[in-house]
Each structure stands twice: as structure tokens, then as C-alpha cells.
Amino acid sequence: MSGFTITDLSVKLGGTEILHSVDATVGSGEWIALIGPNGAGKSTLLRSVAGLCSYEGSIEIDGREVSEWSRRETARRIAFVPQAPLLPPEMRVRDYVMLGRTPHIGEFAAEGVSDHEAVDRAMRRLDLGALAERRLRTLSGGEQQRAVLARTLAQDAPILLLDEPTNALDIGRQQQVLELVSLLRSQGDLTVVSAMHDLTLAAQYADRLLLLAQGRLVAAGAPHEIATEALVATHYGANVRVVGEGGALAVVPVRRSG
């Protein structure tokens, strides 16, 4: 299990500062949802933690700076799923899940017994056995999402970063994917950080919410403390009602006129 600490993190992309002096601590085994309006810096924060862009400040995992690790060492600790994962259409599901073993296989070596076992385990947990030999292009959206999750599980990394994991899924699939992440987390001692647009789902599934706006961390805390009508109005410019609590908390948009 692993958590990580972000101290005074700033990221510039092409001369523009995307993140300004962000501080945050993610506890081992926690599920954190990053929320915030478009362009707030959620994806950039995830990419920095995954070691995919250069940053100023510090991101420490297990007491060591992320930027000091080799790509392979980082990949053994952090699995990252971007907003729209690129699925090679002709690749078979099992071969795709095997890609998750890349950081554990020597660069020019072949996969071994332990890699096949890890892939079998991941496929079993996501119920993909019957789809193993199917090509990725023949899968439905939900099945593809499961294949992506299986790949990240096969990676055996204690930290899972998900950028908009429910993007482009219908409401039923959204729930299924998040339930699945929740189940995997409870079974596998995963630390999960997910960037999310849907505030209701973020509040229902995450332990804590981090609210980013214009590259700054503006609020952090339990879902009922952050998903409030006042904060959402201030940072999203949205008119909402917050109803229910806990697993039934919902952020409902309310029409301003009429």
C-alpha cells in the first residue's frame, strides 16, 4: 500500500502555469476524487503524479521523489488511465491486459509464468475470461472499460490514477465502473485518485474530494463538506441543490429562470 504527498507543486506547460503551488496528502488506501471546472488542472495533476510531465515542487511516494524514479520504477507503483485510452482495434483482450505487465518484464525479455498468472488473476476479477481471445474493436464500451481496468490491475501498482473514468458511459455503466473500482480497492488495497466531472458520483464514491479551480487547490475535505451549494456556485458558476447524504448525496442542477 502506498499514499503520496504533494508539496508546493507547480506545473508549466508551454510557458503557461497550469498548477500553482498545490499541497495535498493522499493516504494509503484512500479514494480521492479531483473535482473542478474545465481547465482547473485536474488532468495535469494526475499526469504529474504519474511522472508524465515535469514539475516544480515535490511529489513524494514512499518517501522518494517521483521525478527521481526511472519510468519502469514509476510504472511499478502507479497505474494511469487517461481520459480516452487508446485501444489498438486489432489487439486481443488477453494481449492487451498483458501490456500491464510491461514494467515487470525485462525490456527485451518474454513474459514468464508469474506474468501469465497476474493476467489470469486480473481477467478473472473483471470477468473477462470469455472475452480473452476477442479483438478490442469487437467489445462494447463497458467491456472495453473492463479491459482497461484489467490492464491496470495486471500492472500490480498500489496507486491507481483514473482521468474521467466514467466519461462517455451511460448512467448504468458509470455506476458499474465505479462499483468495480470500489470493489477492487477493497480487495486489493489500492489507493485511487480519480478526476471526475460528475459531482454526485464523486461525492458518493470517494472518501475525500479535492476541489481545484484555476490551477489552485481551493478546498479539500469529506464529500459533504466540499459538494456544497456555495462552493459549486463559486467555482463552477452553477446553480445547484445538494440533497440527501452519504451514498445518496446528489448534486442536482436547478434551472435559474422559469
Binding region for other proteins (CB under 8 A)? 47, 50-52, 70-76, 78-80, 82, 85-88, 90-92, 94-95, 99-100, 102-103, 105, 107-108, 110-111, 116, 120, 124, 129-130, 132-133, 155
Return the SS3 of 245.
coil
Give 105 or 250: the residue with its C-beta nearer to other proteins.
Answer: 105
State the nearest-atom distance from the C-beta of 50 to other proteins, in Å.
5
Give 134 or 197: the residue with its C-beta nearer to other proteins.
Answer: 134
**Beta pairing class for 208-213 and 216-221:** antiparallel
12/1 Cα distance (integer angstroms): 30
Give 194 or 200: the residue with its C-beta nearer to other proteins.
Answer: 194
State the nearest-atom distance from the C-beta of 130 to other proteins, in Å.
6
Task: Tell me how far CA of residue 240 lies from CA of 70, 170, 194, 199, 219, in angstroms.
Answer: 45, 22, 22, 11, 18
Give 101 or 235: the residue with its C-beta nearer to other proteins.
Answer: 101
Return the SS3 of 60.
strand
Give 161 or 240: the residue with its C-beta nearer to other proteins.
Answer: 161
State the nearest-atom distance from the C-beta of 154 to other proteins, in Å.
10
State the nearest-atom distance from the C-beta of 169 to other proteins, in Å.
19
Task: Tell me how far CA of residue 161 lies from CA of 4, 77, 189, 250, in angstroms.
Answer: 12, 11, 14, 24
Give 136 or 211: the residue with its C-beta nearer to other proteins.
Answer: 136
State the nearest-atom distance from the C-beta of 179 to other proteins, in Å.
22
Task: Tell me how far CA of residue 212 lies from CA of 18, 103, 123, 230, 236, in angstroms.
Answer: 11, 31, 35, 15, 10
Q: Do 144 and 87 contact (CB within 8 A), yes or no?
A: yes
Closest by Cα among 84, 88, 80, 47 to 167: 84
State the nearest-atom distance from the C-beta of 10 to other proteins, in Å.
20
Question: In the 8-state DSSP scheme, what is residue 109?
Answer: P
Q: Which residues contact 47 (CB under 8 A, 6 or more apart)?
A: 53, 80
197/82 Cα distance (integer angstroms): 14
State the nearest-atom distance from the C-beta of 99 to other proteins, in Å.
6
Give 91 or 250: the residue with its C-beta nearer to other proteins.
Answer: 91
